[in-house]
Amino acid sequence: MMELTRKGEYAIRGIVYLASRPTDQVCLLSDIAAAVDVPPTFLAKIFQQFSKIGLVKSYRGTGGGFILGRPADKITLLDVVEAVEGPIIPNRCVINGIDCDRSSSCNVHPVWMNVQSQVRGILDKVTLKELAEG
């Protein structure tokens, strides 16, 4: 349970690698993929998602590639994980608005809320800078 998918793992590996490179250096996707051992086409999809929400900035054409969208200490593990895996929701009940028909009388609900906030809290305190340095 609660297992990160391979996509999430690849995402972390890829962007942590990018964070470990010189800030101003544009990285080729194919180089990143090779460095972190991820299928390039799959990593491309992941970086497209990153790009859409500004986690990375992309450049097309000759000399193109990727750099981080903001400083490595302003990107958290939570940002990365939620970018590709979607919001951290241990149970459908936790989704605001779309509450199950049992939610009002459901004692389990607050437990999942707690889990959600704890996990988000942990992931939000870890930045790419820390992960890339170490």
Partner DNA sequence: CCTCAAGAAGACTTTTTTTATCTTTTTATG
Partner DNA sequence: CATAAAAAGATAAAAAAAGTCTTCTTGAGG
**Stretch binding DNA (CB under 7 A), from 14-22, 40-48, 75-83, 119-127:** 40-48
> Exposed/middle/buried for 97, CB within 10 Å: 0-12, 13-18, 19+?
exposed
- Is 60 an interacting residue with respect to DNA (CB under 7 A)? yes
- Is 73 an interacting residue with respect to a copy of itself (CB under 8 A)? no
- Is 31 an interacting residue with respect to a copy of itself (CB under 8 A)? no
- Is 41 an interacting residue with respect to DNA (CB under 7 A)? yes
The binding track of 113-132 with respect to a copy of itself, each residue x by CB under 8 A or -, is -xxx-xx--xx--x---xxx
Interaction site with a copy of itself (CB under 8 A)? 1-5, 8-9, 12-13, 16, 77, 81-82, 85-92, 102, 105, 107-108, 111-112, 114-116, 118-119, 122-123, 126, 130-134
